[in-house]
Amino acid sequence: MALVKIENLTYYYPGTEKPALDRINLSIPEGQFVLVIGGSGSGKSSLLRVIAGLIPGFYGGKYGGRVYLDGTELRELDKRSLVQKVGIVFQDPEAQMVMTGVEQEIAFGLENLGLPPKLMRRRVMEVTEALSLTGSLSRFIPELSGGEKQKVALASVLAMQPEVLLLDEPTSQLDPVAGEEILTMVRRLNEENDITVVLIEQRLERCFHLADRVLVMDE
Ligand code: ADP
Ligand code: MG
């Protein structure tokens, strides 16, 4: 069975006449690493927002069709299950930061789930090591570079151990070496832990070789 299934989805942002997504049908099996490409404004970010349950919930607008996660319609899932199953890293990492300290930011989602402190610390340690952020745990987020903020945003999502990882141009502000490193790490998580990944990337040379499948959005 498909982990993510989208049936005949059409979506209009509030006050718009042209659909951002037009009759999308898509089935993603568990463990697949999907790369999404396409021109600017073709709907890549909107597709990720749908899978994250943010459309239409957070954005409003007109919506037709159905989206299933693991057989359950997304709109029937409660928020708590949704944030545990699906993690999203936005194009602009600042848009998702809620705390001012790196460690607090990475632990924030886990704290909201009410995880025991010991387990929480272990999860934070694991992701900070994997992303070479251990030395930055006590830093102040406004002082980080764009690339460092992207890593912190990714760390806070990975700490939740989601089943589906949605990444919207997650390496746009990183240099080529750091960008490649991050994507290789995501591929490893995908292979070892069977995490399903949907990745939007402009720089194909960084990720084409990592993907099981490539989706092209047209207009
Ligand atoms: P991409 O990520 O491929 O650049 P988007 O999903 O951001 O494309 O955008 C698809 C379409 O939806 C574009 O026409 C864009 O202008 C429009 N759009 C995106 N976000 C919003 C929003 N918050 N409100 C209104 N229109 C939006
Ligand atoms: Mg986009």
User: Could you read off the pLDDT of 80-105 as tens digits, one per residue?
Assistant: 899 999 999 998 988 889 999 999 99
Please write the tens of the pLDDT for every residue from 169-184: 999 998 888 898 899 9
Note whether 193 and 130 are within 8 A (CB): no
Q: Which residues pair with 29 in a beta bridge?
A: 2
**Over 90: is that where the pLDDT of 198 sits?**
yes
Using the atom order of ligand 1, give the atom closest to the CA of residue 200.
Answer: 2
For the question of whether the overall pTM of this predicted structure is more than 0.75, the answer is: yes
| Cα(219)–Cα(217) distance, integer angstroms | 7
- Rg, C-alpha atoms of the chain: 17
Query: Pairing between strand 72-73 and 86-89?
Result: unpaired
Task: Please work out whether the CB of residue 60 comes within 6 Å of at least one atom of ligand 1.
Answer: no
Question: What pLDDT shows up at residue 57?
Answer: 85
For the cut 80, the answer to whether the pLDDT of residue 1 exceeds it is no
Terminal alpha carbon distance of the chain = 29
216 CA from centroid of ligand 2 (Å):
13
Q: Please tell me if the CB atom of residue 44 comes closer than 6 angstroms to any atom of ligand 1.
A: yes
Ligand 1 mean position to 48 CA, how many Å?
Answer: 11
